[in-house]
Amino acid sequence: MSKRRLTAVLMAVVMLLVASCGSGDQSSSAAQESSVAQGTSRQEEESSVPAESAATDSSEASSVPEESSEEESVPVVEQTGNLNPLTGLMTLSDEAVGKRPVAIVINNIKDSLPQYGIAGADIIFEMVAEAGITRLLGVWGDYTQIPDVCSVRSSRPYFVDLAAGFDALYIHVGGSQAGLDRIEELGLDNFDGRYTDPDIFDRDPNRLGVYAYEHTMYVKGQNIPAQMEAYGMRTDLGENYQDTAFLFNDPAHPVSNTEEACEKITIHFSDAYYSTFTYNASDRLYYKEHSGEPHMVQDTGTQLAFTNVLVLESEISSLDGYRMSINTESGTGYYISNGVLQEIRWSKATPYDRIQITDEDGNEVALNAGKTYVGITEYDSETFG
């Protein structure tokens, strides 16, 4: 993927948010500021079907913050470091400049909640792993700023393909045979929790005896840089990954690409697993719910929230009534940000390429700078239901 010149796109958008997309909910309107879009360059342990255990830790639920009644302004974005290629924000530490990101497979079955360590992920993918249950792939652009992350689960081939597209170190605990084979096929550097290196993985003593055993593994995030070097893994980003993961707008000027208001959206993965996002105009973030409850993070006590929500529709089928086959090459979908929705097309030419987002005319879509959620779901999956 060649590095492209910086582009500048002049856009002035003024609109009122008048309705929730596809939900019929009414919400307060918010005047959208005119903005200039300044584009930057692109760029388990494997076990039987887990039983839902009865005991889980609980975290204090919180609702989406109340919207301010004052005139809306662009939230101040802390810019304290270097360009993070996964968010378009100046938040990367000096030590992480030019270094590979890290992708971690994260448990999302209800009996494993709450997760911890995931609030700082720059991109979170969600898709079905088995029997209608979703799993997450969190990607961090700064490998020096990863905390302990729990609980880590097993690999699937489509997670491997997504991680390879970022030139990322891949962290998992075992996997389906297809998932393990894909790691070998792509030659992806990885840490596998089956080998329980105590400098990388451990069982959370507070979860043992409370959660099912497969929900207790965590990765020692602060040890990742040293362990990559100890194992002789490449830490520098590959030559083809020097630019940003997406085309990003200027952080000071978030853009609304359409006039189709979208203040609430639900992505259905199965009858029991779905993710709902509710827009808060005061901070321009979409707050995530996990199957009807706020998606809280244990260590931070915060609800997951994102600047961008990408819904990628794909061909998904069951291999054996349990595990899934998911196409990660191309499809249609939606880009939701800054209170509006845009229909998109997406493509990933090879496992080593990042996902490219375009409009229906083939023009690359610039995302607003910030964290991104990516839900991969079936066509006609009642996305707005």
Domains of the chain, start order = 18-26+37-46+77-378 (3.50.90.10)
pLDDT, tens digit (0-9, with 9 covering 90-100), for 162-186: 999 999 999 999 999 999 999 999 9
Q: What is the mean pLDDT of the chain?
A: 83
Which amino acid is it at 333? G
The helix/strand/coil state of 161 is helix
Asked whether residue 104 carries a pLDDT value surpassing 80, the answer given is yes
Asked whether residue 106 carries a pLDDT value surpassing 50, the answer given is yes
Residues 6+ apart with CB under 8 A from 162: 103, 125, 137, 328, 355
pLDDT, tens digit (0-9, with 9 covering 90-100), for 2-24: 444 333 333 333 333 333 464 44
Q: Are 127 and 78 in contact (CB under 8 A)?
A: no
Asked whether residue 97 carries a pLDDT value surpassing 70, the answer given is yes
The helix/strand/coil state of 319 is coil
356-358 β-sheet, strand order: 190-192, 169-172, 102-106, 133-140, 123-130, 372-378, 308-314, 330-337, 340-347, 356-358
Asked whether residue 373 carries a pLDDT value surpassing 50, the answer given is yes
10 Å CB burial of residue 118 (0-12, 13-18, 19+) is: buried
pLDDT, tens digit (0-9, with 9 covering 90-100), for 235-246: 999 999 999 999
Predicted local distance difference test score (pLDDT) of residue 312: 95
Asked whether residue 383 carries a pLDDT value surpassing 90, the answer given is no
pLDDT, tens digit (0-9, with 9 covering 90-100), for 43-77: 344 433 333 333 333 333 444 554 443 344 555 55
Q: How far is CA 333 from the centre of its chain?
A: 16
Predicted local distance difference test score (pLDDT) of residue 35: 37
Partnered with residue 155 across adjacent β-strands are: 175
Distance CA 256, CA 249 (A): 11
Mean pLDDT, to the nearest integer, of 84-90? 98
The percentage of residues in the chain with a pLDDT greater than 70, rounded to a whole number, is 77
Which amino acid is it at 11? M
DSSP 362: S
| H, E, C per residue of 133-151 | EEEEEEEECCCCCCCCEEC
In this prediction, residue 315 has a pLDDT band, given cuts at 50, 70 and 90, of confident
Asked whether residue 28 carries a pLDDT value surpassing 50, the answer given is no
Predicted local distance difference test score (pLDDT) of residue 69: 38
Predicted local distance difference test score (pLDDT) of residue 64: 53
Q: Are 249 and 255 in contact (CB under 8 A)?
A: yes
Predicted local distance difference test score (pLDDT) of residue 328: 85
Predicted local distance difference test score (pLDDT) of residue 323: 73
- State phi, psi for 49 to the nearest 5 degrees: -55, 120
335 to each of 59, 85, 211, 217, 312, how far by Cα in Å? 30, 19, 36, 34, 9
